[in-house]
Amino acid sequence: MQEPLWTLGTMSGTSLDGVDAAMVLTDGVQVLDFGPDAYRPYSKAERATIRAAFGQWPGDPGVAAAAEVVESAHAELISRFSNVALVGFHGQTLAHDPGGRGTHQCGNGALLAGALGLPVVWDFRTADVEMGGQGAPLVPFFHHALARRMGATEPLAILNLGGVGNVTWIDPSHAAPESLGALLAFDTGPANSPLNDLMLARQGRVQDEGGTLALSGTPDTKVVETFLSHAYFYRMPPKSLDRNAFDLLAAVQHLKDADALATLTHCAAAAVAKGAEHFSGPITQLLVAGGGRHNVALMQALTRCLPNVAPVETQGLNGDMLEAQAFAYLAARVKAGLPTSGPSTTGVPAAVGGGKISLP
């Protein structure tokens, strides 16, 4: 077992708000303490450069420009921290097609290692996809460590509402996350991405702050019902999604802004409820992390669909930084030679350790 390390994890999600960075003290098994965290928003121009490369693969037009934005933003943010032993750099997902072309996160960890003078763990998803896994979600092993840290004894679930929603069902009675029956994880469906995309397209705003506009609207139940008939919801987990797997903006184009947002919000919540039907057993609580938990309309919709819904802050956790913390934890696992995903989280045939380490 390796000595505990202060590891810095970073995350730039598909909702494109900016870069999160957070420090975790971990030996790759236990989460021993949380350190400082910071956030760097993308500028409007940076966001547009990255958005222009969505759906693109290495060498495609716009990818190099997007990678440059991602690398410089991360280098700027990481350089604010001190006493960092190891960096976990996720990069920016531009395309995700497991079983097809693979997965593409732009941003070169080796360049960052050289610029920062720190060892960087990166390219977390490729090994999983190459072995036949979905390559996502990757946070479940961290969720398991958090449940153990909380002292939980009964099954619970942690839901992350980022651009795409993902959920982890956890049985904390299992000591190792790769143990049979310890975890079940999958992407639930679209979450913040369609909401943010609609606000940008119609009002030139980054998001519906707090879900205020959505609260004033009425959801179109026919759109929600059609959405829930999508084949994805009937596939057994583990399973994952690209942010553009559903063309929800087209489905609500006939609606006024408030009604369109209310409809998209109900789609996101209904997708989580549909996903809960796949859980391995009943849960004592559904803890919510990610930007979506700040959306009052979305949290109200979830509470109507499912019991015992609460933000992760009720357990003393930071829901804004959970994914960045997860990649700090996963980086320590990679360094220790421990698996980062398994059959019940990504569908990979056997537990696999992803990530590559670049030294300065």
Rounded Cα distance between 319 and 316, Å, is 9
Q: So what's the pLDDT on residue 267?
A: 98
Express each pLDDT in 191-212 by its tens digit: 999 999 999 999 999 899 999 9
* Range 57-85 average pLDDT: 98
The pTM score is: 0.93
Sheet with 286-289, edge to edge strand ranges: 183-190, 164-170, 156-161, 286-289, 309-311
Residue 13 reports pLDDT greater than 90: no
Contact 42/121 with Cβ under 8 angstroms? no
Contact residues for 35 (Cβ-Cβ < 8 A; gap 6+): 6, 22, 23, 24, 25
What residue ranges do the domains of the chain occupy?
5-137+321-358, 140-315
For the chain, what is the mean pLDDT?
96
Looking at domain 140-315, its CATH superfamily turns out to be: ATPase, nucleotide binding domain (3.30.420.40)
Is pLDDT at 14 greater than 90 in this prediction? no
Residue 171 clears pLDDT 90, i.e. is over it: yes
Work out whether strand 120-122 and strand 86-97 pair parallel, antiparallel, or are unpaired: parallel
pLDDT digit string, tens, across residues 278-322: 999 999 999 999 999 999 999 999 999 999 999 999 999 999 999
Same fold, 5-137+321-358 and 140-315: yes
Rounded Cα–Cα distance for residues 312 and 290 (Å): 9
Q: Judge whether residue 243 has pLDDT over 80.
A: no
Does the pLDDT of residue 215 top 90, yes or no? yes
Q: Which residue has the higher pLDDT, 13 or 255?
A: 255
**Fold classification of 5-137+321-358 (topology level):** Nucleotidyltransferase; domain 5 (3.30.420)
